[in-house]
Amino acid sequence: MSGVELNLDNRVALITGGSRGIGAETVRLFAAAGARVIFSYQRAQERAEALVAECGGPERCRAVQQELSTPAEGRALVEQAVAEFGRLDALVVNHGIWPPMDAPIAAMTDAQWRNTMGVNLDSVFGLVQGAVAQMLGQPPIVAGAIRGHVVLISSTAGQRGEANHADYAVTKGALISLTKSLSSELAPQGIRVNCVAPGWVDTEMSAASLKHPEIGPRIAAGIPVGRAATAREIAGPVLFLCTALAGFISGEVLNVNGGAVLVG
């Protein structure tokens, strides 16, 4: 008896923020599932080049350096992705920033608020707009099949808020609303839009908090599973949502947080 395959043969996927953490694991899994993958990075050129080589070289995987803080930059990245491999079947919006220092709302600067909005939200508008236009403008690989998949990466902060990080929580909450709005609009046109909402994940962005002798144990105590996720444990559900097995899932917010959102 053969196993069930999460197959993305002949598909092209664009994954933002793909050089490290959740993004890099998502690139690896999509490539292993047969997709041709384009991913963006900001500064980590050596890591990006190493990941391209790991995933089969430029015939299978390519990296694009792209700032993402405006709608125009998001649309430019989509255009580059289509130029590289000729089409786009899946968009995974993974990039984002989480300013690590606490910023109470009374003291948060306009610059921090605007920068977080730009990276975490404004660029997403451009990415989704460009990707959807491409998906609607091309026939599906199989007649009558789904035209494309969009997966937005939100956070538990987008559902229950995060004290002293209102800017981040606002953007992640907006992605949940965007998921629901786009699903209602695009599902009838063959595009599935879903959201993955991680909790704490063991990545470079969260390392300072998770490894802190006081903060780290307090974080773990608030997660029923008892630990932070690995990046691969987030990438797996993202991959699933872009396969035929998830063809009847639309507008869903998939919590991948070890049960934390239920107890926080």
Active-site residue set: 168
Distance (Å, whole) CA 264 – CA 256: 14
Q: How many CB atoms lie within 10 A of CB 263?
A: 10
Distance (Å, whole) CA 88 – CA 75: 13
Among 17, 205, 24, CA closest to 94: 17
Tokens of 144: 């009558």
Among 166, 182, 42, CA closest to 109: 166
Among 33, 88, 87, CA closest to 240: 33
Lookup result for tokens 């997709």: 35
Do 90 and 12 form a contact (C-beta atoms < 8 A)?
yes
| ∠ Cα 236 244 63 (to 5°) | 55
Among 25, 18, 3, 29, CA closest to 242: 29
Lookup result for tokens 């507008």: 251
Helix (H) or strand (E) holding 100: none
Among 197, 209, 245, CA closest to 8: 245
